[in-house]
Amino acid sequence: MKFRSLLILALAASFASGALLAEKSTEEHIKTLSSGSDSEKYESAVALGKNKEKSAIPELIHLLNRNNEPKIATAAAIALGKIAEPGDATIALKNKIISSENGDIIYASLASLLNITTKNEKLEDSTKEAFEFADKNRRGDEFVADFLDLIKKKLKL
């Protein structure tokens, strides 16, 4: 009897915790990008990128523009790259490459621009400008420098 009571209690706790950890809706994730804690912003950016949620692009751009915390900014950049929608996202990623000195943020932004270019089979002017700027000004980070060499080969720049 005692074992069953413990088992029932454990199952109840399991269901309760599962309900608490239920997936947020897209709208909740988008809202979290502007009002959540840093860890919540990170998790929401990752989820929105994973789901390729185009409706999140404006808030992801806003998060990328206003946040210089590498973990958050790289998550926003990567999400934009996974969504792979050209236009405003490429401009925002270019601007982040120009304004940031952080190698992780620059690397993530370059990777996202490469993904957007590859998926859309078109090199936008803002993407080309970002690659050129990074090639001239961001080679101090060895990983960024190596990645720029790879980009130049892949896109034949």
User: pLDDT digits over 83-116, tens only?
Assistant: 999 999 999 999 999 999 999 999 999 999 999 9
- The total number of structural domains in the chain stands at 1
Residue 17 lies in a domain: no
For residue 34, give the nearest of 11, 15, 12, 56 by alpha carbon: 56
Question: Quick check: pTM over 0.85?
Answer: no
Domain that holds residue 100: 22-155
Q: What average pLDDT does range 128-132 have in this prediction?
A: 95
User: pLDDT digits over 22-49, tens only?
Assistant: 478 989 999 999 998 999 999 999 999 9
For residues 152 and 46, what is the distance between their CA atoms, to the nearest angstrom?
28
Domain at 47, CATH number: 1.25.10.10
Residue 78 phi/psi, 5-degree rounding, is -65, -40
Residue 4 lies in a domain: no
